[in-house]
Amino acid sequence: MIVDAVLGALGGLVGLGAIWASLSIRVVQQFQKGVVFRFGKVRDEVRDPGLVALLPIADRLRKVNVQIVTMPIPAQEGITRDNVTVRVDAVVYFRVLDPVKATVNVQDYNFAISQVAQTSLRSIIGKSELDDLLANREPINQGLELMIDSPALGWGIEIDRVEIKDVALPESMKRSIARQAEAERERRARIITADGEYQASERLSEAAAVMSATPAALQLRLLQTVVEVAAEKNSTLVLPFPVELLRFLDSATEVQQRNLLTAAAAAAGAKAAEDAVESGEVPEEELEPDQGARELPPLEEVLEHSPLDRPESPDGRVERGVEQRRATTPGGDG
């Protein structure tokens, strides 16, 4: 009977110990902090991760997650400073810095941060312009973070960062922005094209100056262009008459006309001399040898010579009229 009593007492002690352990022993995870309330009053000491011993019935333990929380901010519609209606959504990253304040000073810090973030986002939309929301978001993110962080410090919350995710624009504004971008691209394309034409004109003027010194180079360039155009064999080419040949024919015609005029003048002089001799006004021995009739050279002989050659008389002497014109013309050849 004594043994049974001892075993029963030991079993009772073990049961009481188990009950006491279940009421006083808690486990705090690595990513948590423990806040202890003794008879409803918070203890200043924050329990670290591990086993935590509590007084049964007197203490209550509340675990607070100290990980970084990612909270999306619902899309907020607002009017920007330049009177454009937009819908903006964002995301806020925060964590609990002081578990006691986060537990005592605010009822639900997650809901509180969500509401502050929404109101701050609507406020920042009204203070910003559309171009800043689309292309210069870094200052807006910093301003939004500052607006949320001001009340969160009293709740023991640290705002890690705030990012604007998307900016939804009306369809009319999207079309306007697209037209603006298209006009800008068109302006750049025209400037580049004009610059290229200007540079090409400079090169062409230099090439023209070089070709003007050698006219044959112009003909060679023309033939090269003809070869390039005729490579596909799908076009009809109309070639211009060579300018050099026109100049040659013009010079030949001028020489022929000059010879004809000279011959006509010589014939008229010879006729006048014969009439003077027949009438007895001038003796025959006083006539100059060159006042007789001159024979006109054939056309083939004229064309065989270059227009730049000096015409000669049948007796080998240079025509007097040509000599006189060259003597009276300044600069040499007339």
pLDDT less than 70: residues of the chain? 1, 3-4, 6, 14, 16-18, 20-22, 237, 239-249, 269-271, 273-334
pLDDT tens string 248-295: 667 777 777 777 777 777 777 666 766 665 666 555 555 555 444 445
Tell me, what's the pLDDT at 91? 94
Q: Beta 85-96 vs 157-168: how paired, if at all? A: antiparallel
Distance CA 280, CA 227 (A): 74
* Nearest alpha carbon to residue 110 among 131, 125, 95, 89: 95
Strands 32-38 and 85-96: unpaired
pLDDT at 293: 44
Instruction: Report residue 331: phi and psi, to 5°.
Output: 95, 5
Residue 35's φ and ψ, nearest 5 degrees, are: -110, 125
pLDDT of residue 303: 54
Helix H, strand E, coil C: the string for the chain is CHHHHHHHHHHHHHHHHHHHHHHHEEEECCCEEEEEEECCEEEEEEECCEEEECCCCCEEEEEEECCCEEEEEEEEEEECCCCCEEEEEEEEEEEECCHHHHHHCCCCHHHHHHHHHHHHHHHHHHHCCHHHHHHCHHHHHHHHHHHHHHHHHHHCEEEEEEEEEEEECCHHHHHHHHHHHHHHHHHHHHHHHHHHHHHHHHHHHHHHHHHHHCHHHHHHHHHHHHHHHCCCCCCCCCCCCCHHHHHHHHHHHHHHHHHHHHHHHHHHHHHHHHHHHHHCCCCHHHCCHHHCCCCCCCHHHHHHCCCCCCCECCCCCECHHHHHHHHHCCCCCC
Residue 166: CB atoms within 10 Å: 9
Nearest alpha-carbon partner for 322 in 265, 248, 270, 268: 265
Under 8 Å between Cβ of 57 and 23: yes
pLDDT confidence of residue 304: 60
Is there a contact between 89 and 165 (Cβ–Cβ < 8 Å)?
yes
Specify whether the CB–CB gap between 93 and 160 falls below 8 A.
Answer: yes
Q: What is the pLDDT of residue 232?
A: 73
pLDDT at residue 216, as a whole number: 73
Neighbouring residues of 57: CB distance < 8 A, sequence distance ≥ 6? 23
